[in-house]
Chain A
Amino acid sequence: MQPIKYYEPKTLDDAVKILTTIPDAAIIAGGTELLHVIRQNCLPTFQPTALINIKKIPGLSYIKEEGGTLKIGPATTLVDIANNETVKTKYRALAMAAAHVASPLIRNMGTIAGNICQDVWCWYYRASDNQFNCIRKGGAICYAIGGDNRYYHSIFGGPRGCYAVCPSDTAPALVALNATIVTTKRNIPAENFFTELQPGNVLEKGEIVKEIQIPTPPATSKSAFMKAAIRPSIDFALASAAVWYNISGGNVTESRIVLGGVYLTPKRAKAAEDFLKGKAITGETAAAAGKQAVIDAIPMVGNAYKKSVAAAMVTKALLA
């Protein structure tokens, strides 16, 4: 490991300046993701020479409602989001998702922007010293295809040759709640923020997440998040589901159903949304919507069971 320079800029502008002038600089906030990648030495092309700590910049940690929008600062910790009364009542899926991330220690350190900017968690990809130089890193093959894909891989294909999944719990919740990711350059709908290719999001060089905005949903709507994992805490999702829906006259008028842990990005389940339209949420419709959510799944050899898990999470979230 080479020596790394460490910066504590006073403003986000200063952070951007350092980020654009130093070639291999990286942003650090909670550090729970970044330090793992560095210590594992798992990415041949990612050897940061400088770390820019944005957690020390004043005013980047907040949760407030303004003019029909919830605004969350990028350095807001997951524990603060999980415990916030406003989030818990009006943006429930996000509070539930934040509460499901890893462990209390990690939720105390980890931030919302860091959580959505995580790279994939594939055990070949993350193995130390780049022991598996796979397609996602520019290598020749994907080890997961012929290997062990039971936990951390896609059931919706791998259009670019990589079958890993977006591991973030808050990402599907933000997509379900129709959030916008505000960066130092632009506003990006959460649904368009995530990409199949490394590093998993559309951020450009020198671009930093500045705020997360969520339109306040109507009082007639409801949202929830459910996650299945091998161990009740710590582990990434085998599959998760974030749902948001609006009810009028007892029936669903509109919904957003998003799966986590099953594709390279959060996966919007349009078929399930269409199915629910005009129907009441009952045990039966929720179960049927779960099935619809995975109707187009094309699982790998070892992970076909995740179809059932993902469907169950949709059902549970709709009924939660």
Chain B
Amino acid sequence: MSQQEFRLVGKYNGPRITGAKAAAGAIKYGWDFNLPNQLYMRILRSPYAHAKVTAVDASAALAMKGVHGVLTPFDFKDSPVRLAGTTMMILPYDKVRYAGEEVCAVVADDPYIAEEALSKIKVTYEPLPYVLDVEEAIKPDAPQLHEGGNIVRTPTTVTYKVGDTAKGFAEAELTVEFKLKSQTIQHNNIGTYAALVSWEKDGRLHMWTDAQYMHGPRNTLATVLGIPQSRICVHAELCGGGFGDKSGAQRCHILAAIFATKTGRPVKFKLTREDNLLQGLHRWTCVTYFKFGLKKDGTVTAFEAKNYSNAGAYYSVWGSGMATEQLYIYKWPNFLVDCYDVYTNTPRTGPLRCVADPQSCWMIETAMDRLAFQLNMDPIAFRLKNNMFTQGDKDPVTGNRIPSIGQPQCINRAKELAEWDKKWKPWPKTKPTSGVVRGIGVANHCCGHGAGSLANAAVLVMNPDGSLTIYTGATDIGNARREQLAIIAAEHLGLPFEKVTVANYSTDTGPDSGATVGSRQTKSAGNAVGVAALQVKDQLLARAADRLKVTKEELSVGEEKIFVTKDPSKSVTIRELVASAPWIIAAGQWIPPANTTQRTYGTHIAEVEVDCDTGLVKVLKVVAVHDVGRVIYRKSCLSQVHGGIIQGIGMALQEELLFDPQTGRPYNASMLDHKMPLSSQAPEIVVDFVETVEQPPDSYNHGAKGLGEPPTSPIVPAITNAIANAIGVYFDTLPVTPDKILKALGKV
């Protein structure tokens, strides 16, 4: 279908359903739910980076008026629960593995009593040597965090090999080697982990929270409590920010459920900012050694990378490593990428707006720019020289089909919008030493999207008045899930947007549709809704055919009617067809096609200003072009890109969670010092979309690909490449702070 034929897809651009209420503070998030008689939970943090927990004396805390329970590691001696890729205890009975890790928890009548009780719990530690740095941790004599050593292979840390790199290096006219290192960042969601957990009158455990996934946490709680999954209901109406941090049950959720079970009272908690900075997941530090072989005309003949990812004390179920998606931009003939995860005494890691994509995108696109710099070639010309993937190309590692590839269109469109040919000037021959200089930088991007799980499910129910209700577990975490799914269904069924509603979110009201992660739900839940919508449509057509005495094939849908295509005056309204039982109800599940690799593409171009006296960088303008397959709801597509760019500024220029080698302790675990970007740093942003429909066309969701994560990645190398263009220096580490810039300019 061409864009013109859609009624709503890409065209409906009404306001976000929850937008005005959210802006007015009228929406309830995890912390906003209350029940009579509720208790408040607080969690005690470990002050040690690595220590045996030899004893806990909670008697003074328990003796306090208003304290109703304390849980210690010794309560969980025999109950390991897999909360992460690593088996992680509910509380670490054997030893704590990083400073800030949960050690004990307490519930009390109010949060102040709970906080005071924390200070009365006496934990005896036997400190152990610790290791914070990933390259220190791989040394044979490094302190060991888990049995089996510090180096692990996780689901995403593997070896990727194409061609023969030895042959490729033999063909090379020059080789370039460097090492790049990214940083550790926490999500800093506006809403920290928070929930209210209660055994209700229906004899079931209810949890009100904000989450990217309801069924996963429900299932974890059922396992821990030893009760059927059906006896738990998780409610997650809206989410105060997710970005990967809220994709599963954390220790805090489980502890609250245990307390609620033990005390018979509702238990409420909200992590403090510092707790969340340390007990949430973290985008991990990647250290990668690169070696490139290339010809003088700019052709890369071979590339090898050895990646060590700082998995922290525990890695998430998604694993760590270096995202391989970046290997799907250029058709390198020979490459070998070897990834290792390494445990260190730092917080646990997990996805932050993609599993490893921001780190990998920064590294690969920095590498590409460095090679262009080496040859003094226009960075876009250099990229175009290196055979970008185009429609029809296959996955080089697995041979899988890639249904749609829009990389060349993205870079060409971005180049045009940014007036690249007018603005790009070669790198300065001598480094500037004072004043303000400008630069422009480019970066491509590819990442997976859409699938990642077989759970993609929705139930559609036609109501007697001809409106439609969608029931799904695909939560709305700010990504306009409600609007997108409604548009997809309404488009199929000839209904106006207003007549399609997504039911409130809980595990009772929608089937498991997987987590809202991995830029997947417009594709995955969208396809599940599409599958069900086509079933609904088929039943409507059958009923209409019966009434109008024609065959289904002769009918069309539109304007809340089913009509004879050739003679639209012969019609029946949908309302008439569904006014009485039997109802039209359809369950849709989408199974991602086999041997297929879903990929989404993008290009960012950033213009920056570098102050050579202060080392401060200002991002002036960003052009962002993304291949989204199909725009469903433009408003949310734009806000994904705007948000991603601002978040990316943090990674490029200022954000980092830091641990002190002298003590193993965090020293900047606050919003002030972690330095997430502010709205005042937002640049001018120009956005455009490339629509490359998958081949063969995927008719269920009208061809949309994912966009949630992509916009936060290419902005990072676009900024650092622009800095390099301005001052002639590429940096090996992130973030690029003033101290690094002025040192590189020889001003130190």
Which residues of A approach B to under 8 Å, CB–CB? 1-2, 123-124, 127-129, 131-132, 143, 146-148, 150, 228, 230-235, 238, 302-305, 307-309, 311-313, 315
Contacts and interface: CB of A to CB of B under 8 A. Distances in A.
Given A231-B654, A233-B680, A1 B739 contact: no
Contact of B665 (A131, A231, A304, A307): A131
A195 to B, nearest CB: 24
Contact of A309 (B615, B658, B667): B615
B747 A129 contact: no
B739 A230 contact: no
A123 B674 CA distance: 11
B675 A131 contact: no
Contacts of B673: 123
B680 A231 contact: yes
Choose among A2, A148, A303, A311 the residue with the greatest number of B CB atoms under 10 Å from its CB.
Answer: A148
Contact of A232 (B99, B611, B663, B680): B680
Given A148-B658, A308-B614, A230 B47 contact: no
Contacts of B747: 305, 308
B396 interface: no
B742 interface: yes
Contact of B678 (A127, A234, A238, A303): A234
Contact of B737 (A1, A2, A150, A308): A150
Interface string B655-680: 00010111101111100110101101
B616 interface: yes
Contact of B274 (A128, A143, A146, A232): A128
B647 to A, nearest CB: 14
A308 B739 CA distance: 10
A175 to B, nearest CB: 22
Interface of B: 47, 99, 112, 115-116, 119, 274, 611, 613-616, 654, 658, 660-663, 665-669, 672-673, 675, 677-678, 680-681, 737-739, 741-743, 747-748
A127 B613 contact: no
Nearest to A141: B662
B112 A1 contact: yes
Contacts of B668: 123
B663 A230 contact: no
13 contacts: A1-B116, A123-B673, A127-B667, A128-B274, A143-B667, A148-B658, A228-B738, A230-B616, A231-B677, A231-B681, A232-B680, A233-B680, A309-B614
A308 B747 CA distance: 7
A143 B678 contact: no
Given A123-B668, A305-B738, 15 more contacts: A1-B115, A128-B669, A131-B99, A132-B660, A147-B660, A147-B662, A150-B737, A150-B739, A228-B738, A230-B737, A231-B677, A231-B680, A304-B748, A309-B613, A315-B613
A143 B672 contact: no
Contacts of B665: 127, 131-132
A30 B613 CA distance: 35
Nearest to A229: B616
Contact of A312 (B614, B660, B677, B743): B614
Choose among A124, A308, A312, A315 the residue with the greatest number of B CB atoms under 10 Å from its CB.
Answer: A308
B314 to A, nearest CB: 22
A238 B738 contact: yes
B666 A127 contact: yes
Majority SS of interface residues in chain A? loop
Contacts of B680: 231-233
A231 B619 CA distance: 12
Given A124-B667, A127-B665, A311 B678 contact: no
B666 A129 contact: no
A106 to B, nearest CB: 11
A309 B663 CA distance: 30
A150 B115 CA distance: 33
Contact of A230 (B654, B661, B662, B742): B654
B184 to A, nearest CB: 14
B613 A147 contact: no
Contacts of A311: 613
Given A143-B662, A231-B678, A305 B47 contact: no
Nearest to B679: A233
Nearest to B672: A234
B156 to A, nearest CB: 31
Contacts of B672: 234-235
Nearest to A102: B672
Nearest to A146: B662
A49 B661 CA distance: 35
B748 to A, nearest CB: 4
A308 B743 CA distance: 10
Contacts of A233: 678, 680
Nearest to B618: A232
A127 B668 CA distance: 7
Contacts of A234: 672, 678
A284 B90 CA distance: 65
Contact of B614 (A148, A238, A304): A238
Contacts of A303: 739
Choose among B661, B675, B739 the residue with the greatest number of A CB atoms under 10 Å from its CB.
Answer: B739
A307 B738 CA distance: 12
A305 B743 contact: yes
A308 B615 contact: yes
Given A124-B667, A230-B654, A232-B681, A305 B748 contact: yes
A123 B656 CA distance: 14
A277 B174 CA distance: 58
A231 B741 CA distance: 16
A124 to B, nearest CB: 5
A228 B666 contact: no
A91 to B, nearest CB: 26
Contacts of A147: 660-662, 667
Contacts of B661: 147
A132 B662 CA distance: 10
Contacts of A312: 611, 613-614
Contacts of B666: 127
A128 B666 CA distance: 10
